[in-house]
Amino acid sequence: MAAKKPVIGLLGGGQLGRMLCEAAGPLGIPIAVLDAEGCPAKQANQNDLHVTGSFKDPEKIKLLASRCDFLTVEIEHVETEVLEEIATKGVEVSTPDGGKTLKKVPVHPSWKTIRLIQDKYQQKEYFARNGIPVAEQMAIESGEARSDSLDEAAWKYGFPFMLKGSKGSYDGRGNFKVSGPEDLKAAAEQMGDQPLYAEKWVPFEMELSVMVLRTEDDNGKLKHVYPYPVVETIHEDSICTKVFYPPRNISDDIRKRAQKVASEVIASLWGRGVFAVEMFLLHDGQILVNEVAPRPHNSGHFTIEAVPQMSQYKAQLYSILDRIPEKGVNLTARVPSAIMLNILGGAEPTSHDRFVELAEKAYDEFTDVYVHLYGKESKPGRKIGHITATGFSSVERLTETINPLINVMDEIRAERVGLKSPAQAQTKLHKAVPLVAVTMGSDSDLTTVAAGLKILDEFNVPYEVRITSAHRTPHHMMKFAAEMSKSGCKVIIAAAGGAAHLPGMLASEVHIPVIGIPVKASVLDGVDSLHSIVQMPRGIPCATVGIGNSTNAALLAIRILGAAYPEYAERMKRYQENMKTEVLAKDEKIQATGWKAYLEGMSNK
């Protein structure tokens, strides 16, 4: 007789619960949902274990627990007292002989984590005590002392500062930007009697998010934390609307630091599962933790397609059941780029239809588009689905490719919030990060480089062209090298004549490949340049092409890109196939016409 499969009980049956059930189905993992009849999660998962009612009702939670082996949550706004009781004392269940006994049901993430996360002020105080970087904050007094407490916050932090609700806020709700003294009264009135705290204004450059998988043993001892790739999040009207993987225009160093900070945050908590860590990236590169969600998150939806071997939902299931292999888990994205767009309810119930229809009809050879609808009624600003696009090139190229989708999304928002012009709502397109940087020691080298630039254009490779002399502007050259090392540039092509030190000097300063083009000068026909570039000392490699052969330099750069971006590998295969076809056609023609006629034909061209 097969062993009974452990059942996971889920408090909340919205879209996150639905996608958790969709991941559980193929894995044969039973899930019992506590929420209203017909909720999104129950639409995707029919069984006899579900409980109908509110996921805040203690008696309904106990009933759910009695049917399950583990409990988890879709949203953190639940009653932690009953969860603590279920985990530490147990819930009453029937025995085979008709008696009653108490059964302890593990809660993941731990009720301790959920309770801490529910109070955003205490959450950040806890992180600060654990050495995790957060914005400065202070608690705001209640009652008659509130006005004086707000004045103290204004004196302490200056304007603007953020006034936030400690509990119950979600999707940016419960926040008030206090821009000046005139806002203090309105802030107090709008925020009401709820517990509040003030937070120093953080002039961030970008919002980042990292999903983190946490495992622990049955005794509550931490085993491992595994960070997912970092993403950039865009918030509009206090709602996350767009997610970009990888984040645009930030260095690998910042991404690694964000993963490290996120891992430290989640290591300090309790329980199994996936957690979202939302962070601010400041202009000086500093990273501050904004808040944590102890569950699957909007910023992790892209993992369904981009990290299919272990999406955030599969990771949630496997972690709760303690099925993550001891050897670890690979959370590397299987595509170079992905963008998630939320489908939000518009001004009319059918406003989003054109957005969905455009996504369903979208086609591009190097882009895949996936539509997820949640089975929810459309209301203005409500999350009713999402669209994920994955690309085989850079995230900037992917952004350009799906720009029609982004434009429609922005138009729907403009209609919803009452903007007069859709252009006011349009997402700012970042300038494509150059994957190839082309530089030369003098503008006289441009005629040599031009053929290579045409090849880069033909292959749709984003690039930039610079002039950086190793001898006349050495400091400028070093600055250029540092910029390219920190950017998303993958290859540098450097052309130089005479002593031709530019390619070698760049190769000594950067960690990315450098391709040197020897330029034919007025003496020695470029042989001096060739020898200078090709004879680099051991440990400082610099790829070198033939004298003046910028075409091969560009083609080599594209082959290097092809190792990371399948789009360019595929384009290179086609380029090579076209060359083969051309040569075979010429061979066929010379055989048919004879060499004399062929030669005459060449002369007449």
Identify the pLDDT of residue 97: 84
375: left (phi over 0), alpha (psi -120 to 50) or beta: left
558 has pLDDT over 80? yes
Q: What is the DSSP letter of 300?
A: G
Q: At 480, is the secondary structure helix, strand, or coil?
A: helix
**From-to residues of CATH 3.30.470.20 in the chain:** 209-425
427 has pLDDT over 60? no
318 and 296 Cβ atoms separated by less than 8 Å: no
Cα 105 to Cα 67: distance, rounded to the nearest angstrom: 10
Assigned CATH topology for domain 436-562: Rossmann fold (3.40.50)
Which neighbouring-strand residues pair with 107? 71
User: Is the torsion defined by CA of 127, 129, 135, 141 positive or negative?
Assistant: positive
Q: Token digits for 265?
A: 């945050």
DSSP-assigned letters across all residues of 202-237: --EEEEEEEEEEEEE-TTS-EEEEEEPPPEEEEEET
Identify the pLDDT of residue 383: 96
Residue with tokens 């031709």: 500
Percentage of the chain exceeding pLDDT 70: 97
Identify the pLDDT of residue 99: 85
Q: At 415, is the secondary structure helix, strand, or coil?
A: helix
CATH number of 136-200: 3.30.1490.20
* Comparison of pLDDT for 170 and 335, the residue scoring more: 335
pLDDT in tens, 147-189: 999 999 999 999 999 999 998 766 556 789 999 999 998 988 8
Identify the pLDDT of residue 288: 97
Q: List b or e across 419-443, with b for residues whose CB sees 16 or more CB atoms inside 10 angstroms.
A: eeeeeebbbeeeebbbbbbbbbbee
Identify the pLDDT of residue 171: 56
The yes/no answer on whether domain 209-425 falls in CATH 3.40.50.2020 is: no
**From-to residues of CATH 3.40.50.20 in the chain:** 8-107
381 and 416 Cβ atoms separated by less than 8 Å: yes
Residue with tokens 């092509």: 493
Identify the pLDDT of residue 518: 95
Average pLDDT over residues 577-583: 95
User: Is the torsion defined by CA of 249, 255, 257, 261 positive or negative?
Assistant: positive
Average pLDDT over residues 487-508: 93
Average pLDDT over residues 326-338: 95
573 has pLDDT over 90? yes
Q: Where residue 419 falls among pLDDT bands split at 50, 70, 90?
A: confident
Q: Where residue 1 falls among pLDDT bands split at 50, 70, 90?
A: very low
pLDDT in tens, 218-240: 999 999 999 999 999 999 988 99
2 has pLDDT over 80? no
* Comparison of pLDDT for 591 and 174, the residue scoring more: 591
Identify the pLDDT of residue 189: 87
Identify the pLDDT of residue 428: 58
Q: Are strands 196-200 and 463-467 parallel, antiparallel or unpaired?
A: unpaired
Q: Where residue 208 falls among pLDDT bands split at 50, 70, 90?
A: very high
CATH number of 8-107: 3.40.50.20
Residue with tokens 């009652």: 143
Cα 518 to Cα 527: distance, rounded to the nearest angstrom: 8
Q: Where residue 368 falls among pLDDT bands split at 50, 70, 90?
A: very high
Q: Token digits for 17?
A: 């619960």
604 has pLDDT over 90? no
Identify the pLDDT of residue 299: 98
How crowded is residue 253: how many other Cβ atoms within 10 Å of its Cβ?
Answer: 11
Mean pLDDT for the chain overall: 93
**From-to residues of CATH 3.30.1490.20 in the chain:** 136-200
- The candidate with the shortest Cα–Cα distance to 518, out of 483, 486, 488, 494, is 494
User: Is the torsion defined by CA of 504, 506, 511, 517 positive or negative?
Assistant: negative
Identify the pLDDT of residue 485: 86
Long-range own/partner contacts, residues 140-145 (CB < 8 A, 24 or more apart):
140/195, 140/196, 140/197, 140/198, 142/193, 142/195, 142/196
